[in-house]
Structures are given as C-alpha cells and as structure tokens.
Homo-oligomer: A and B are copies of this chain.
C-alpha cells in the first residue's frame, strides 16, 4: 500500500489545524445544535447501556437517532458472516441514515457505553422540517459529514501503514471529542484491541504493537492502571507520527 507517494516532503499541518469540513455547520457548535434539536423536535429520550442495540440490520426503518451522550459503534454484517465495524458515533452524531433508502436498516448500532439517545420519527422529522427549514439544514449537514468522514476512513485504510492508521484513529477520536466540548487529552477507549483492529482493517496484535510503539515514542501515554485509557498530550504529535510513517526513507546523510 501507500504506493502513491508524490514528492512527499513532509509538510504536515502544524498541531491543531482542523481539516476543512470538520467544523460544525454554519459555525454552530455541537452543544447549541443539540439544544436546538431538543427544543424543536421534543424527541423521546432513551438511556442506553453498554451492549444495547438501538437498531439492527434488516429491521424496518422508521426512526433516526441523535446521540446526546455516550458512544456507539456501527457494525456491518455480510451475508457470509463477515463482521465489520464501519463507524463510530459520538455526541451530536445522528444514527440510522442507512435505513432511509432501503426501508430497512443496513447495520447494527451498538452502544459502547452508558448514554442517552434521542429517538426521532423520520416522518415526524420531515413534517417539522417543512415548517422549520433550519432543521433540514442540520439534517443534511449531518448526512454530509457522515459521507465525508466515511471517505476519509477509506482513505486511511487504503493509504496508511498499520502504525499510522492507529495514530490517525486516535487523532480523530481526540479531535472529535475536543470539537464537541469534551476532554480530548485523556480518552477512554471503550473498545477492545480486537474491535479497534477490525475497524482499522488489521489484527488485534498489530493494534497492540502500534500502541506500544506510540507510547515508547511518547506520542501517547497510558494511565496508571490498565491500558484502556490513553493520554494524548499533543494531538499534533499524532499527526507528525503519521507523517513520519509515510516518510519514504530515513535518507540519513546528505
């Protein structure tokens, strides 16, 4: 992989520069957006716990879901039994878009932590949008962001070596939390190495080795007890690590 490497002169983006498209729609932040959605839609609120499934592949589509707290994984299941984590959802994300086209959800949405989701009937949402055009903008922005991010994911697995993929994964996680008003410098991975590996297209052993390497290079740190909490003192260091992985050769001397 990483076969396309045109004159790579390591001009990586310095530290916290957010990539284009990652900021909230119309300059609005996540908290304000959630407040607006809560007021406009008066959604049914539902508390979920680790392992709860909000919808499953094949189930009849009817609702969209807005994640107010906690976090979810989206799992695709193929006819022949392959299982693939295809997305992670954080505070402010919407769930269930995949069901609109086919009338049935195409994936499973599984809670990875305790949290609260808001249930919104798609029909009711459309009705509300008809009298409140700003809502439609929010809906479309959420779908658009999902499409753009899915493409970034594909780019990651297609062009980055294993170590860089793990680093980029942590960078995205930390940035996402920060953008949404949560601490991004100390994140609790509520996924096993196997789940992370599945999401990134590598084995759990490779994930473990990559994390060890990142810790050895002081790009990340591990919390006192257990290896589930990851400290990220500087997000820029993760980006720099990715670039280092892409660097063609040491080119020592000359």
Contact = CB atoms under 8 A, between A and B. Distances in A.
A106 B151 contact: yes
Interface in A57-113: 57-58, 74, 76, 78-84, 86-87, 97-102, 104, 106-107
A97 B144 contact: yes
A6 to B, nearest CB: 6
A252 interface: no
- The copy count of this chain in the complex is 2
A191 to B, nearest CB: 14
Contacts of A243: 80
A110 to B, nearest CB: 15
A98 B154 CA distance: 14
Contacts of A153: 154
Contact of A147 (B22, B23, B147): B147
Given A21-B106, A150-B150, A158-B201, A144 B101 contact: yes
Nearest to A155: B84
Nearest to A82: B159
Interface of A: 1-8, 10-13, 19-23, 25, 57-58, 74, 76, 78-84, 86-87, 97-102, 104, 106-107, 126, 130, 133, 136, 140-148, 150-155, 157-159, 197-198, 200-204, 243, 246
28 contacts: A3-B204, A5-B81, A6-B83, A7-B81, A11-B79, A12-B79, A12-B80, A19-B79, A20-B104, A74-B151, A78-B159, A80-B246, A84-B151, A84-B154, A98-B144, A100-B140, A100-B143, A101-B141, A101-B145, A102-B144, A102-B148, A106-B148, A130-B130, A140-B143, A146-B147, A150-B154, A154-B157, A158-B198
